[in-house]
Chain A
Amino acid sequence: MSESLIFEKSVPGRKGYSLPDLDVPEVPIAELIPADYLRKDPPLLPELSEVDVVRHFTNLSRDNYGIDQGFYPLGSCTMKYNPKVNEDVARYAGFAALHPLQPFEQTQGALQMLFQLEVALREITGMDRVTLQPAAGAQGELVGMLMIRAYHQSKGNLRRKVIVPDSAHGTNPATAALAGYQVQVVHSNADGLVDLEDLKHLVDTETAALMLTNPNTLGLFERDILKIAELVHSVGALLYLDGANLNALLGLCRPGDMGFDVVHSNLHKTFTTPHGGGGPGAGALGVKSRLAPFLPVPVVEKTEKGYVLDNRRPRSIGKVHSFYGNFGNLVRAYTYIRRMGAVGFRKVSTNAILNANYIRTRLEKVYPVPYNRFCMHEFVASAKKFRDKEVHAWDIAKRLIDYGIYPPTVNFPMVVEEALMIEPTETEPKENLDHFCEAMLRIAKEIEEDPELVKTAPHTRSVTRLDEVRAVKQLDLRWKPA
């Protein structure tokens, strides 16, 4: 049963809040603020008791699905378990009840945490400096591209274009455009990797950067990465890593050693900060030293007087966040890093890779994998063969919901038709991987025997399939009183 809107539950005069009485002499509001600055009637917010509010949101949470409930093999999103200790630590008063503009003497612990997190991320990624300010991966990309722009500007030629693979995340071209660059697409070759010949044709002295994901969005390691780096650097361009897939590399190899000049890492993927139903994230960005002068301000530095935030950096691209980034998430990521250590991280990446290859092996006969080789932390299967039954990847995803599993990413990357992008992560037990594989195999059988069952899925949630076309055509983005 679906929950009515909170506004529909409102009862005039009902009250849930608790505030102290005014303890200073009250001055008539008209003496403080001119009447034309004031709202005539209070806003139409709901009027409810505390228990009404608690039940409303509790019931809504029960009609939602998080990683704590079950498997979430959403490719490219690294939906791994979020350790509870992270949550406890992030709530320590010294971290949670801290104002960003308190003088440095009062915030040494916070600044030290930021400094040590930077040091750890430098080591993990092989970069020279890391800024923790970007609030998400896409903002990290923007910071990276603006730094690349500033770097080229300092060399006297801004350059015009940025190259992205056809398999790239949508944020890559969107960010390059936002940074003022023309986007060129390099194609994938028959192995699903960057086509070196195509890249050779595209790269020239107007190329500012190549934005690459490695492992790429097919879950494959770009074997020619050193050649790619050499080619890009030979024309003075820079190599940018979209670090969405960093989980596969931890402790095995480092972007900095592969020739990447700029790397963003989604701390809400690899470093276990919860995704929060769509955010907040944290998009730490690492750079090689030649780009360090352009880092956004402030930069955390360790001085004789203790830790400080350095704002006096004349070549900086400027500020990107109102304060210093999503600090609460940075506390969680640092807590995780201290829990894992070097040995732990190697177990993370190798088990993520093992789990992905296990599922790939179990499914490949029924769900063909177009670029089929040992994958890294994820792989992309295709549901194209079910088209003759008029069943699409999207339908399979919806049917998986009935098996209590959050569906994989579908129809991405665009280089695979009817793509099902599957990323199990290292935190999933084998029996869940098996349950997923069996569900996928059963769905394949269902498609043969009763395709309607799959095409009309899901059947077990509070709603059946939603009319997304109607949502666009008859836009309804807010409740209005009758």
Chain B
Amino acid sequence: MEYIPNTKEEQHQMLKAIGVETIEDLLSDIPSEIRLTRGLQLPPPLSEPELKTEMLRLSERNADLLHHVPFLGGGAYDHYVPSVVGHLAFRSEFYTAYTPYQAEMSQGLLQTIYEFQTMIAELTGMDVANASLYDGGSALAEAAMMAVKITKRKTILVSSTIHPSYRAVLKTYLSGANVTIIELPSENGATDLVTVGKRLGEDIACILVQTPNFLGCLEPVEGLAQEVHRHGALLGVSADPISLGLLKSPGEAGADIVIGEGQGMGCGLNFGGPNLGFFATKKEYVRQMPGRVVGATVDTKGRRGYCLTLQTREQHIKRERATSNICTNEALAALSATIYLSIMGRQGLREVGRLCLQKAHYLKHRLCEIKGFEMAFARPFFREFVAKTPVPPSRINKKLYKGKIIGGLDLGELDRKLKNHWLVCVTEKRTKEEMDHLVAAVKEITT
């Protein structure tokens, strides 16, 4: 067994040193009633070559996006991952390391986390960011819980334009807490400001919105911030960092907490995970922030170094009074994002944003030329938009798939009110040719 180095002879030497005859002698604490008297019923072990063949065969039962052209988003995005990201993040000194509890042996990783925190704070317009959370869904839940703790208020307002899975995760996380969740209706594809004004009061801890929202529309964050702050509540914004090279940061627009999903930044798709939750907020709330955080300090010789800090907020010290139960996070995804943002840089991230924006608008324009297609909402959008379709989108998607195109999300399958609504996504990877191809195919199907 190549992963277990002990030879029979070495086992024998070790048993002798311990002073027992067999390994079985070491297991005497396990009551005999519960000892497994049979072998586990598992498929027989495979050698490495057999294993690779078997797994490759399994993987080939999937329609991978190297051989298909996706216009599918809905919370997971096919952004380009530069070659350097995988080569650097998967250096084994990084990916086979544990959480950097022993700072002096983990300076490299700690510095990358400090750089990640800096980049996230910069993109979101916040003062501080943590070292990562699981995903966009749990990050939203952590934001809500922090707002409840800070304001000591027990009701939160959640926009119905936030990704339905994020809202579902939020509901699950808060099901053990004594907190009321109220969903805010939407108007023309974004949070309805009139209802916001009516619902806000002394009992509201926070309002949570997402921009671009699940329907692709940009939310009027600035207008919301003014309303929210008038009532002493906090504004939590779930943002997409890929858009933030181009769009105003939520912090500048008045957010108090900015969270979101960072999968688009060099993490790939991986059928939805590992993803990258991030969490950023204002300085004054740093001690209520969930998750690990790295700080700069000095060593005994006065040299700059980094270590995990503010650990008294965390579960291993505070136990049942911790700010969150999170321990393991998404460090490697955060490292991938740090490398991604380093290689894209100041201009590159903006350029990715520009390409997404221009191409998405081109496709919108072309699609809306087809009879029966129109935009569902009159709002500014970034990379994704909802088109009303003359036939159910799943029918269009089925036909498109025959031409190796993976169409957008059929929103009618999630919400009956959105029957014949198609959520179409265009990243910087899509070409004019691919989009023209899609348009031609759609035309053929629907006319």
Cross-chain pairs A/B with CB under 8 angstroms, 5 sampled: A61-B108, A82-B96, A93-B66, A279-B328, A465-B104
Among B51, B94, B96, chain A packs the most CB atoms within 10 A around the CB of B96
Among B166, B295, B325, B329, chain A packs the most CB atoms within 10 A around the CB of B325
Per the 8 Å Cβ criterion, residues 7-61 of B in contact with A are 10-11, 13-15, 17-19, 23, 25-31, 33-36, 39-46, 48, 51-52, 54-56, 58-61
One digit per residue, 1 when the CB lies within 8 angstroms of any chain A CB and 0 when it does not, for chain B 284-295 equals 001000001111
B121 contacts A142, C-beta separation under 8 Å: no
* Minimum distance in angstroms from B225 CB to a CB of chain A: 12
Among B87, B166, B168, B222, chain A packs the most CB atoms within 10 A around the CB of B168
Contact A327 B298, CB 8 Å, known A94-B62, A322-B163, A466-B104 = no
Which chain B residues border A45 with CB–CB below 8 Å?
Answer: 119, 122, 341-342, 344-346, 349
Per the 8 Å Cβ criterion, residues 3-41 of A in contact with B are 3, 5-7, 10, 14-20, 22-27, 29, 32-34, 36-40
Cα(A94)–Cα(B52), bound, Å? 13
Set A42, A68, A176, A179: member contacting B349, Cβ < 8 A: A42
Cα(A426)–Cα(B123), bound, Å? 44
One digit per residue, 1 when the CB lies within 8 angstroms of any chain B CB and 0 when it does not, for chain A 109-145 equals 1101100000010011000000000011111011001
Cα(A124)–Cα(B41), bound, Å? 8
One digit per residue, 1 when the CB lies within 8 angstroms of any chain B CB and 0 when it does not, for chain A 178-219 equals 111101000000000000000000000000000000000000
One digit per residue, 1 when the CB lies within 8 angstroms of any chain A CB and 0 when it does not, for chain B 220-245 equals 00100000000000000000000011
Contact A97 B132, CB 8 Å, known A89-B52, A373-B29 = no
Which chain A residues border B51 with CB–CB below 8 Å?
Answer: 85, 89, 335, 338-339
Cα(A135)–Cα(B327), bound, Å? 11
Q: Is A476 an interface residue (CB 8 A)?
A: yes
Choose the segment among A285-293, A313-321, A385-393, A442-450 that binds chain B (4+ C-beta atoms closer than 8 Å).
Answer: A313-321
B55 contacts A16, C-beta separation under 8 Å: no
Which chain B residues border A372 with CB–CB below 8 Å?
Answer: none
Cα(A407)–Cα(B114), bound, Å? 23
Nearest residue, chain B, Cβ from A21 = B355
Set A53, A100, A296: member contacting B269, Cβ < 8 A: A100
A138 contacts B325, C-beta separation under 8 Å: yes
Cα(A3)–Cα(B114), bound, Å? 13
Other than the known A171-B327, A337-B42, A338-B54, what 10 A-B pairs have Cβ atoms closer than 8 Å? Answer: A23-B432, A29-B354, A46-B342, A80-B3, A170-B316, A174-B315, A278-B99, A280-B273, A325-B272, A338-B46
Cα(A369)–Cα(B127), bound, Å? 46
B92 contacts A66, C-beta separation under 8 Å: yes
A341 contacts B165, C-beta separation under 8 Å: no
> How many A-B pairs fall under 8 Å by CB?
692
A430 contacts B326, C-beta separation under 8 Å: no
Among B56, B58, B127, B432, chain A packs the most CB atoms within 10 A around the CB of B58
Among B28, B55, B105, chain A packs the most CB atoms within 10 A around the CB of B105
Among B104, B306, B319, B343, chain A packs the most CB atoms within 10 A around the CB of B104
Per the 8 Å Cβ criterion, residues 65-91 of B in contact with A are 65-67, 70, 72, 74-76, 78, 80, 82, 84, 87-91
A135 contacts B343, C-beta separation under 8 Å: no
Which chain A residues border B296 with CB–CB below 8 Å?
Answer: 471, 476-477
Closest 7 CB pairs of A and B: A323-B272, A94-B59, A109-B61, A100-B272, A276-B332, A341-B45, A180-B176
A347 contacts B293, C-beta separation under 8 Å: no
Contact A32 B42, CB 8 Å, known A39-B248, A53-B84, A466-B297 = no
B325 contacts A466, C-beta separation under 8 Å: no
Q: Is A452 an interface residue (CB 8 A)?
A: no
Which chain B residues border A397 with CB–CB below 8 Å?
Answer: 102
B322 contacts A174, C-beta separation under 8 Å: yes
Choose the segment among B153-161, B192-200, B358-366, B368-376 that binds chain A (4+ C-beta atoms closer than 8 Å).
Answer: B358-366
One digit per residue, 1 when the CB lies within 8 angstroms of any chain A CB and 0 when it does not, for chain B 99-116 equals 111111111110110110
* Minimum distance in angstroms from B410 CB to a CB of chain A: 9
Among B44, B305, B319, chain A packs the most CB atoms within 10 A around the CB of B319
Cα(A323)–Cα(B350), bound, Å? 28
* Minimum distance in angstroms from B68 CB to a CB of chain A: 8
* Minimum distance in angstroms from A375 CB to a CB of chain B: 8
Contact A323 B76, CB 8 Å, known A33-B380, A221-B30 = yes
B169 contacts A322, C-beta separation under 8 Å: yes
Q: Is A367 an interface residue (CB 8 A)?
A: no
Per the 8 Å Cβ criterion, residues 383-416 of A in contact with B are 397-398, 401, 406-407, 409, 412
Which chain B residues border A139 with CB–CB below 8 Å?
Answer: 134, 138, 326
Q: Is B406 an interface residue (CB 8 A)?
A: yes
Set B29, B64, B304, B332: member contacting A97, Cβ < 8 A: B64
Cα(A178)–Cα(B141), bound, Å? 12
Set A221, A226, A251, A466: member contacting B305, Cβ < 8 A: A466
